[in-house]
Amino acid sequence: MTNKHDPRPWRVIIGSARGSTHETRHLPNQDNAASQAVGQAGGVVAAVADGHGAGRHFRSATGSLLAVRAALTVIERLAAEAGDRWDADAADALRGQLPLAIVTRWRELVADHLAGHPYTADEQAALDAKSDGPEIPYGSTLLVGLVVDGWLVCAQIGDGDMLAVQPDGGAWFPVGGDDRLDGLHTTSLCQRGAVASFRTAAHDLRAEPLLALQLSTDGYGNAQVAEPWQPAVAKDLAGLAARHDHRWFAQQVPLWAERCASAEGSGDDTTIAVLLAPDSVRLAAAAQPDLPPRGSAVSGVGIAAVRLPRSAAAYPPGPAPRTSDTAGRLPSARRQVTRRRVVGAGLALVLAAAAVAGALLASRSSGSGPASHPTGRPAPKVSSSAAPSPAGGHDSVQPRATTTAGASHAVGTAGGGSSSRPGNTQE
């Protein structure tokens, strides 16, 4: 950890990739991320933002960029005001100031951008028709993590994931959850109640050492197999940190983002920021004495594959673009996962029913030709590799095939050329 006894800086590794569905729809990567040094004690702050994909948020890529800038600017100023002495009061004061300060600065930046790039007549008419304020097109989520002088201060609005990883591979959540998030709607900087929608926390790392902090947009979480995914990811990260330093992570994290953003993952823009503690290799190795020595070839250190589609043709063009719900109707946080499971169960029933129908038709046939439909036409064939999806637009998602963790990916090999993803990941 970084404190007055260890002033060396934390390392921040960032990877971001444009989602395959955004490529298909000719949309830019609407995620943004950045980091910078803070204070005189090896402190660092990282910010990750995800612009909304719905049409009403047509400037969200800019909005997420401004969100990251606002967060870094605000934290740099507030940390400077706190000085070099950090204690519970200083950390808690900073935590309490962040929501209002970030929202205020973000709206100032939006106003400045809008002054130089005013809406067209058609755009303004569309805003007026929905009674949308000028910030709505810039809608974005935001995750912020600050590590300074033995303290962790976090703030988050909207979806995405923040995961704290202990040296032994244990996991905990720096900020609380929000039951209003569901994968189609999210709280947002562009809402009137943005300040109240922030979740914040301050943690004393001197009492609970931290190996790594991972911030990620929902494209990362939605690409994963297990539910919940966080324990496996924490274990994976700690195992990798025991064998590799920040330079190795700098090569791998962008590959993880690309894998999750691909058609084999979530298809959504994916951004990952990993904050690694100073001397992370020693910390992780000391806490995991049973791991093979550094540099040895290790196959399948808990790195699970992302979902793999059966067939590209079996899926709709992509997930429905998320939107801020300014009316305040934000469904349950786990409804997206439940919907996938229900759809999967429904497909199984459809296939079972089709098999029974096929058997009945076969029993009625004469045995000299294909089974006949009552109309005299051949009975329809049922494909076992790409079953038809039920009606329902973006809710009609085929279940993705999965692979066994570590079955096809060797992890931890010296100078490995393939992407090693942390992961069973899902929001």
Q: Residue 115's domain is classified under what CATH number?
A: 3.60.40.10
Distance spanning both ends of the chain, measured CA to CA: 27
- Show the tokens assigned to 379: 């009975």
**Alpha-carbon gap, residue 214 to 234, rounded angstroms:** 9
Query: Using an 8 Å Cβ cutoff, are 136 and 190 in contact?
Result: yes
User: Can you give the pTM of this predicted structure?
Assistant: 0.72
Quote the domain boundaries for residue 93. 1-427
- Show the tokens assigned to 311: 């067939």
Residues 6+ apart with CB under 8 A from 203: 151, 152, 153, 154, 164, 174
Residue type, 402: T
pLDDT confidence of residue 289:
87
**Alpha-carbon gap, residue 188 to 175, rounded angstroms:** 16
pLDDT confidence of residue 40:
65
Query: Cis peptide leading into 228, omega within 30 of 0?
Result: yes
Phi first, then psi, for residue 72 (nearest 5°) are -65, -40
Residues 6+ apart with CB under 8 A from 256: 15, 220, 272, 419, 420, 421, 422, 423
pLDDT confidence of residue 255:
95
Query: Using an 8 Å Cβ cutoff, are 192 and 324 in contact?
Result: no
> 36 by DSSP, 3-state: which?
strand
pLDDT in tens, the chain (427 residues): 333 445 678 999 999 999 999 999 999 999 999 999 987 667 899 999 999 999 999 999 999 999 999 999 999 999 888 877 789 999 999 999 999 999 999 999 999 999 999 999 999 999 999 999 999 999 999 999 999 989 999 999 999 999 999 999 999 999 999 999 987 889 999 999 999 999 999 999 987 789 999 999 999 999 988 888 999 999 999 999 999 999 999 999 999 999 999 999 999 999 999 999 998 999 999 999 887 655 544 333 333 444 333 222 222 333 444 445 433 322 223 333 333 333 333 434 434 444 434 444 443 333 333 232 222 322 222 222 222 222 222 222 222 222 222 222 222 222 223 333 333 322 3
Domains in the chain, number: 1
CA nearest neighbour of 427 among 197, 163, 167: 163
pLDDT confidence of residue 85:
78
